[in-house]
Amino acid sequence: MFIRRLPKFEYHAPASLPEALDLLALYGADAKLLAGGTDLLLAMKKRTKTPAHVINLKSIPGLSGISGDAKGLKIGALTTMADIMRSALVKETYTPLWDAVSVMGSPQVRTLATLGGNLVSAVPSADTAPPLIVLSAQAHLTGPSGERTCPVEALFSAPSTCSLAPTDILTHITIPFPQGKGAYLKLMRRAALDLALVGVAAYFCLDANKVCTHAKIALGAVAPTPIRATASEAIIEGKVLNAALAAEAGSASGKECFPITDLRSSLEYRCSMVEVLTERALLEALKRSN
């Protein structure tokens, strides 16, 4: 049964990161951080999460915003999908992430939903995960023992389970300046406002002889967590990419995933679509490289 009323909880609006960390240390597993609320508040209405304390991160300065230089990009965890979509820098240079954000939810959802919330929710279909993985993004966390960094890939440990400790806060994401091009493609049952049945991000650099280097392919919604398609990457690495090679890499990616059959799609369909989307994402990245 879907219960629409929120359960009772105590609301906190810390004005600084240390204050938020103190609240997390005090209330531990009884507390949940709130960003855009598009995942958390639904889970609370459904009673799948019933925190006694909700700690809103939105009043904390410095947790949102996009800045870039010759070394790369920094995106605050509280940056909304709408802000990322509006960024010309993301669109031009970090294009797979822009591809993902632009097909996420609806304008209303994108106005609230944050990058940090999308990653910490850790659903296998999280649209921002595959592009951030192929762009070699790093997650910056702060907790009781200080700050640490980990690859975005390492944030996911199981469906809807993030590797963050309950006392950690994701503060921002950094992405090294990409030397190559990439693309993210998403298969949905309808044109908008749907989770990915399959999401594929591909990225590579081309050397002076048009040979692919630094190839990365990541798959979403086809395993308990977002995964790399390393066998497919190996197929294109060190070679000149063409339609036949993209099809070969696509075929391999269908064997690297292990999706489930659920209400939205069968396992077999998802595997076939991984093949198609991998091939198309590679060819789209090639088009953008030329």
Site of interaction with ligand FAD (CB under 6 A): 32-40, 42, 57, 77, 104-105, 109, 112-114, 116-118, 120-121, 125-127, 164, 169-170, 193, 195
CB-wise, 36 or 72, nearer to ligand FAD? 36
Is the CB of residue 94 less than 8 Å from the CB of residue 67? no
CB-wise, 57 or 252, nearer to ligand FAD? 57
CB-wise, 61 or 244, nearer to ligand FAD? 61
| Residue 254, H or E segment | helix 243-256
**Token digits of residue 279:** 């091939």
- Round to whole Å and give the CA distance between 255 and 94: 28
Is the CB of residue 74 less than 8 Å from the CB of residue 169? no
- Amino acid letter at 77? A
CB-wise, 103 or 235, nearer to ligand FAD? 103
Shortest Å distance, C-beta 23 to ligand FAD: 12
Q: Which residue is nearest to ligand FAD (CB)?
A: 117
Shortest Å distance, C-beta 37 to ligand FAD: 5
CB-wise, 41 or 267, nearer to ligand FAD? 41
Shortest Å distance, C-beta 182 to ligand FAD: 18
Is the CB of residue 201 less than 8 Å from the CB of residue 183? yes
- Give whole-number Cα distances, 44 to 5, 30, 36, 39, 185, in Å: 9, 13, 14, 9, 31
Shortest Å distance, C-beta 235 to ligand FAD: 28
